[in-house]
């Protein structure tokens, strides 16, 4: 006979408590405990050990396990295939997270409507069928094999999954669906955990690829229990600024591929467009001689591309100089300004410095240091840098220029885009000599040496 047990669960970290408390002792959040009903079967009289012989599963040696490469489901989207490692894996569960309004539902709907030869079940718990129709008309796509369902009951959703047996299941979003086994509200830790387990038990035997859309909290991580990220096979993050056009798709977990790849999209009126060559779009003023701009060769994951760094240095109009940075770490900017002040003798502490990364994207690559300081010095001297030059190097606290990783790919990318000269650190690997490229590689050791090479004339 089933016993009914009441427990209180923290909605932030998932810690359980026998009674309600105001502040969670684990994560420190206030008013996050919600009562949940747990049903547990009385197993006192059940002889679980005696039923072992009826279990079909048995342990295998490693030599007895055969590997059969399963065919992936092509998404007909090159950037998404790149991040996934070739497409959706049969029976694999993918979780897509991102900020509200960033374009998650648009990307997923485009994928669903582009699979003309596959049967797709699109379950929406946030939008009505009429709203989905309007979104499909906006992106100007149609697929007769794609069926839509507006439902939040997990049991009803799984019933349609077993009935339709789709080639791809999409649920938008996991925080909106509920199961009848629990009496808590949608989006609670217990509901998300139980619904994810029910999806896992259903789609694995059917070998149905599943794509879940997840919300994020104010800290930027996926909402719900951490076990949700352990249950799924792939976790994708959709990043970008809603005020700009570019979106970046990253993989923070991938059991069937690499987590070093990223996809780049551009938001348009008709939906998201794949950006095959991001360097050409990010270099807005590549053919104009303007002071305060430089081209940096950055690496994000396995992908190299060129990006424009813009800087403005002016006399401080007020007593305290201003420091502003968009797309670049402000603490890193203050460190580079201190290095220029101490090691190169430039008096920048009494001036306003504004830095902007073109395109509205955020870059964490240390190789941007060289491009940042050259754009700052270019604006300070009011002298333009040759647009055929690019930079890739990390700046140390002593003023030396340090080497960066994947330098071969950076050189090849710069040569492909027609750059004539690239400035790198002196201590580069010797195998760079084997690269067949027309670009001139200029090795510099310190900041003052770079300043003489660029602004001595």
Contacts 24+ apart (CB under 8 A), 277-285: 277/305, 278/246, 278/305, 279/305, 279/306, 279/307, 279/413, 279/417, 280/417, 281/246, 281/359, 282/306, 282/307, 282/308, 282/358, 282/359, 282/361, 283/307, 283/308, 283/358, 283/417, 284/308, 284/358
**pLDDT-derived band of residue 398, with 50, 70 and 90 as boundaries?**
very high
Q: What 3-state DSSP class applies to 314?
A: strand
CA distance 360 to 264: 13
CATH of the structural domain 78-276, one choice from 1.10.10.10, 3.40.50.300, 2.170.130.30, 1.25.40.10: 3.40.50.300
CATH number of the structural domain 280-455 = 3.30.230.10
Query: Is pLDDT at 375 greater than 90 in this prediction?
Result: yes
What's residue 4's pLDDT?
64
What's residue 362's pLDDT?
83
CA distance 237 to 214: 10
Segment 346-353 shows an average pLDDT of: 88
What's residue 378's pLDDT?
94
Query: Is pLDDT at 50 greater than 80 in this prediction?
Result: no
Model confidence over 144-175: pLDDT tens digits?
A: 999 999 999 999 999 999 999 999 999 998 99
Segment 312-329 shows an average pLDDT of: 88
What's residue 163's pLDDT?
92
Give the residue among 393, 399, 453 at the shortest CA–CA distance from 428. 393
Q: What 3-state DSSP class applies to 335?
A: helix
What's residue 433's pLDDT?
64
Measure CA 96 to chain center: 9
Segment 253-265 shows an average pLDDT of: 89
Strands 351-357 and 323-326: parallel
What's residue 182's pLDDT?
80
This model's pTM is above 0.75: yes
Query: Is pLDDT at 319 greater than 70 in this prediction?
Result: yes
Query: CB–CB of 408/432 below 8 Å?
Result: yes
What's residue 56's pLDDT?
61
**pLDDT-derived band of residue 312, with 50, 70 and 90 as boundaries?**
very high
pLDDT averaged over every residue in the chain: 86
What's residue 208's pLDDT?
94
Model confidence over 278-287: pLDDT tens digits?
A: 887 777 655 6
Query: Is pLDDT at 213 greater than 50 in this prediction?
Result: yes
The pLDDT > 70 percentage for the chain reads 91
Give the residue among 96, 93, 123, 121 at the shortest CA–CA distance from 203. 93
């Amino acid at each position: 006979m089933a016993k009914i047990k009441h427990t209180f669960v923290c909605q932030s970290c998932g810690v359980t408590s026998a009674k309600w408390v105001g502040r969670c002792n684990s994560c420190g959040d206030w008013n996050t405990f919600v009562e949940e009903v747990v049903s547990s079967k009385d197993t006192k009289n059940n002889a679980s050990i005696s039923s072992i012989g009826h279990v079909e599963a048995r342990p295998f040696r490693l030599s007895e396990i055969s590997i059969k490469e399963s065919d992936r489901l092509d998404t007909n989207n090159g950037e998404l295939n790149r991040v996934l490692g070739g497409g959706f894996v049969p029976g694999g569960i993918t979780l897509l997270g991102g900020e509200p309004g960033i374009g998650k539902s648009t990307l997923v709907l485009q994928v669903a409507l582009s699979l003309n030869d596959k049967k797709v079940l699109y379950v929406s718990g946030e939008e009505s069928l009429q709203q989905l129709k309007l979104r499909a008309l906006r992106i100007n796509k149609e697929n007769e094999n794609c069926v839509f369902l507006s439902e939040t009951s997990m049991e009803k959703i799984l019933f349609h999954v077993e009935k339709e047996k789709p080639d791809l299941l999409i649920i938008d979003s996991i925080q909106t669906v509920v199961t009848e086994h629990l009496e808590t509200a949608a989006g609670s830790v217990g509901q998300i955990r139980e619904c994810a387990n029910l999806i896992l038990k259903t789609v694995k035997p059917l070998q149905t690829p599943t794509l879940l859309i997840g919300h994020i909290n104010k800290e930027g991580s996926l909402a719900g229990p951490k076990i949700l990220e352990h249950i799924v096979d792939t976790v994708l993050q959709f990043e970008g600024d809603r005020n700009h056009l570019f979106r970046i798709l990253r993989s923070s977990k991938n059991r069937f591929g690499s987590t070093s790849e990223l996809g780049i999209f551009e938001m348009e009126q008709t939906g998201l467009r794949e950006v095959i060559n991001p360097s050409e779009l990010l270099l807005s003023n590549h053919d104009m001689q303007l002071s305060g701009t430089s081209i940096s060769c950055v690496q994000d994951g396995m992908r190299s591309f060129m990006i424009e760094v813009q800087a403005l240095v002016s006399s401080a109009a007020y007593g305290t100089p201003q420091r502003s940075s968009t797309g670049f770490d402000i603490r890193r900017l203050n460190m580079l300004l201190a290095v220029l002040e101490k090691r190169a003798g430039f008096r920048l502490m009494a001036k306003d410095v504004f830095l902007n990364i073109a395109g509205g994207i955020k870059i964490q690559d240390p190789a941007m240091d060289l491009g940042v300081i050259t754009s700052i010095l270019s604006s300070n001297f009011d002298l333009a840098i040759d647009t055929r030059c690019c930079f890739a190097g990390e700046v140390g606290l002593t003023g030396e220029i340090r080497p960066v990783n994947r330098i071969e790919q950076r050189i090849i990318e710069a040569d492909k885009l027609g750059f004539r000269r690239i400035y790198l650190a002196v201590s580069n690997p010797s195998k760079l000599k084997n690269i067949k490229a027309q670009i001139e590689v200029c090795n510099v050791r310190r900041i003052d040496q770079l300043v003489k090479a660029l602004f001595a004339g």
